[in-house]
């Protein structure tokens, strides 16, 4: 993604000129969660952006932020726990899905029960919104857009460890136990394809065929697992998180069209 750094920097400067404010809430475990709220034309329709591992909304949504804003939606750009928010440990979606629920409740409390909410996530953020949409289907949540999310954290870690030619099974099991002791969750607490079987929230599934970080094969699995109305978008040749950068016009048409269908219908 190094080729996109100039674009990301340019978009960050442009976005800084948009009217916004820093907001914060307390998570279920007491840590301080931070986000940036960008009010817009549709003050009753919000898109919550959830970024990926060791990333930020400014990076993951550099190419797509403006399209949501241009379409009129107010935007809540989250800073995940262990990133821009407090927290010693990254949640890999297992904890972050609860944080998303807290942010949705915060929006409803501040803006009324008639609001409409959409979730959009990239990578770890995509896994987060798949699980949040499956497990916390509040009436205000209308749809979810996931981009290159993993189907199963246990299998993803196993795959990444195996690629480094070390004993994958034992190391993954030990790391999961250590994660439970330190951060409060097992890797098996983050299996989106399991949760999607009970999902009722419409979802758009996006993935690039050249993704080797979260294998492309995981895309088919989450899509097939989803029990809700669903749509699929495949970006030929896109690596991990690249689809909105590689084909921005097509990405916008798909994502905004999906939002219009479920947020305004």
DSSP H helical segments within the chain, as ranges?
5-15, 57-60, 65-70, 96-111, 124-135, 153-162, 168-183, 192-195, 217-225, 243-246, 248-263
Domain ranges of the chain: 2-150+192-263, 153-189
Q: pTM of the prediction?
A: 0.94
Tokens 């990444």 belong to which residue?
Answer: 160
22 pLDDT exceeds 70? yes
Using an 8 Å Cβ cutoff, are 204 and 233 in contact? yes
Q: Is 162 exposed, middle or buried (0-12, 13-18, 19+ CB in 10 A)?
A: middle
- Alpha-carbon distances of 226 from 65, 125, 185, rounded to whole Å: 26, 17, 23
Span of 167-176, 191-200, 222-231 with lowest mean pLDDT: 167-176
Using an 8 Å Cβ cutoff, are 199 and 227 in contact? yes
Average pLDDT, the chain: 94
168 pLDDT exceeds 80? no
Q: What is the pLDDT of residues 56-115, one digit of tens each?
A: 999 999 999 999 999 999 999 999 999 999 999 999 999 999 999 999 999 999 999 999
State what percent of residues in the chain have pLDDT above 90: 85
19 pLDDT exceeds 70? yes
Position 42 scores a pLDDT of 79
166 pLDDT exceeds 70? no
CATH 3.40.630.30 fits 2-150+192-263, yes or no: no
- Give Rg (Cα) of the chain: 17
Tell me the torsion sign for CA atoms 204, 261, 63, 137.
Answer: negative
For the CA atoms of 77, 24, 191, 144, what is the dihedral angle to 10 degrees? Answer: -40
Query: Rounded to an integer, what distance in angstroms lies between the CA atom of residue 217 and that of residue 211?
Result: 9
229-255 burial, b at 16+ Cβ within 10 Å, e below that, comes to ebbbbebeebbbbbbbbbbeeebbebb
Query: Rounded to an integer, what distance in angstroms lies between the CA atom of residue 148 and that of residue 220?
Result: 11
66-88 burial, b at 16+ Cβ within 10 Å, e below that, comes to bbbbebbbbbbbbbbbbbbbbbe
């Amino acid at each position: 993604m190094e080729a996109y750094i100039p674009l990301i920097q340019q978009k960050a400067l442009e976005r800084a000129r948009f009217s916004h404010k820093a907001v914060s809430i307390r998570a279920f475990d007491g840590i301080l969660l931070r986000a940036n709220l960008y009010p817009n034309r549709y003050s009753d329709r919000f898109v919550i952006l959830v970024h990926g591992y060791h990333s930020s909304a400014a990076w993951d949504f550099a190419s797509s932020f403006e399209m949501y804003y241009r379409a009129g939606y107010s935007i809540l750009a989250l800073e995940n726990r262990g990133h821009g928010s407090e927290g010693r440990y990254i949640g890999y979606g297992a904890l972050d899905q609860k944080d998303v629920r807290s942010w949705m409740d915060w929006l409803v409390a501040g803006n009324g029960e008639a609001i409409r909410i959409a979730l959009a996530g990239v990578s770890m953020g995509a896994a987060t919104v798949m699980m949040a949409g499956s497990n916390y289907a509040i009436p205000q949540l209308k749809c979810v857009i996931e981009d290159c999310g993993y189907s199963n954290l246990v299998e993803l870690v196993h795959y990444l460890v195996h690629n480094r030619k070390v004993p994958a099974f034992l190391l993954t099991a030990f790391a999961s136990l250590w994660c439970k002791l330190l951060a409060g969750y097992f890797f098996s607490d983050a299996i989106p394809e399991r949760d999607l079987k009970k999902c009722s929230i419409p979802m758009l599934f996006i993935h690039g065929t050249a993704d080797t970080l979260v294998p492309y094969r995981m895309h088919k699995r989450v899509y097939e697992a989803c029990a809700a109305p669903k749509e699929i978008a495949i970006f030929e040749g896109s690596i991990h998180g690249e689809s909105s950068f590689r084909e921005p016009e097509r990405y916008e048409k798909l994502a905004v069209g999906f939002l219009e269908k479920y947020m305004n219908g």
